[in-house]
Structure 1
Amino acid sequence: MPEPEAPEAEQNAGGSSGTLSQQNAVGMARDYLEYTAFSRTGLIEQLEYEGFSNQEATAAVDSISVDYGQQAAKAAQDYLEYTAFSRTGLIEQLEYEGYSTADATSAVDGLSVDYGQQAAKAAKDYLDYSSFSRSGLIEQLVYEGYTQEQATYGVNQTGL
């Protein structure tokens, strides 16, 4: 019995479309989405990092159903679990990760966040590794996107 040729061997015996490599890209994309949030571009870049071509990665990502608004909300929540963000800072971070402005804004606005407390965490973090005057720290927090009121509250919480 003759050996199958390479292109035929890459086809899925189960009848799914695409080469074995394309099917693997789809499987890996799904696996990644099981444990972390990705924007469309971020997921394509991750698959490329794993060795898939841009064409394979793009086709894989576009072949699965993903709610990127939900992914943005998940990413925003994950960010808030390990560091402090202002509203605008969190939206900008999500945009940097490849989420659309609409998805990033909707995700952040859908969260219940006390930005005064976020400012307090940020102020404490700054003071843990650097020295600031009271006004300098307030100014830094405002620069990061906190309102004047949030920044002042945050600095007040540090006792500075």
Structure 2
Amino acid sequence: MLGILVGLTVLGALVGEPDGDSGDRSSEISDENTQSLSASEPEPTTADEAAEVEISADQQPTARLSGPQFNAQRSARQYLNMSGFSRAGLIEQLSSAYGDGYSVPDATAAVDSLNVNWNRQAERSARQYLDMMGFSCSGLIEQLSSSAGDRYTLSEARHGAQAAGAC
């Protein structure tokens, strides 16, 4: 039995690499696959896609975020991938009993830990409103900045309405 095992081992060594190269190609294959995957990633083409890319990059938990804050950050990124949100509106969504139910301090820490361009979010929201119905410039700014609406700052709301073409 031992003779058979030794024979198989020797045979395996002889047959292993026909060109005499016994080096491991798994790292070469892995590098080729990585290169082809990274080359096939599309560039964002619209404002919505660019905004999604901006906030969807994986962010690792840091020492300054607690577990609930990190989870709230994950939820915030998901909301921002779906729709435009103001800072105040996103904190409200995360902390509302009808939303995610995080504490206001945890929701605030989570939102503030993200690198979000709030003017770009206001543009997204303004375009979403204009896709649904017509708005005057002042009406859209009011909707975007109202405490009963999206809760953007007045400056962000003006920027969004102008960028969306309502003004």
TM tier, smaller: 0.5 to 0.7
Query: What is the RMSD of the two structures over their aligned residues, measured on CA atoms?
Result: 1.1
- How far off its partner does 1:102 sit? 0.8
- How far off its partner does 1:87 sit? 0.3
Select which of 116, 122, 126 maps to 1:123.
126
Query: 2:30 aligns to what?
Result: none
Query: 1:84 aligns to what?
Result: 84
Question: Aligned letter for 2:94?
Answer: L
Select which of 99, 103, 110 maps to 1:100.
103
Whose helix proportion is higher, 1 or 2?
1
Query: 1:145 aligns to what?
Result: 151
| CA deviation vs aligned residue, 1:28-78 (integer Å, no higher than 9, x gap) | xxxxxxxxxxxxxxxxxxxxxxxxxxxxxxxxxxxxxx8111100010011
Query: 1:32 aligns to what?
Result: none
Equivalent residues in 2 for 1:1-160, closer than 5 Å:
67-96=67-96, 97-143=100-146, 144-160=150-166
Which TM-score applies when normalising by structure 1? 0.58
CA distance in 1, matches of 2:138, 2:158: 9
| CA deviation vs aligned residue, 1:69-118 (integer Å, no higher than 9, x gap) | 11000100111011110000000000121101110000001111111010
CA distance in 2, matches of 1:130, 1:110: 34
Q: Which runs of 5+ in 2 are unaligned?
A: 1-65
- List, as ranges, runs of 4+ consecutive aligned residues in structure 1 with deviation greater than 2 Å: none
SS in 1 for 2:78: helix
* Structure whose CA Rg is larger: 2
Q: Which runs of 5+ in 1 are unaligned?
A: 1-65
Identity of aligned residues (%): 46
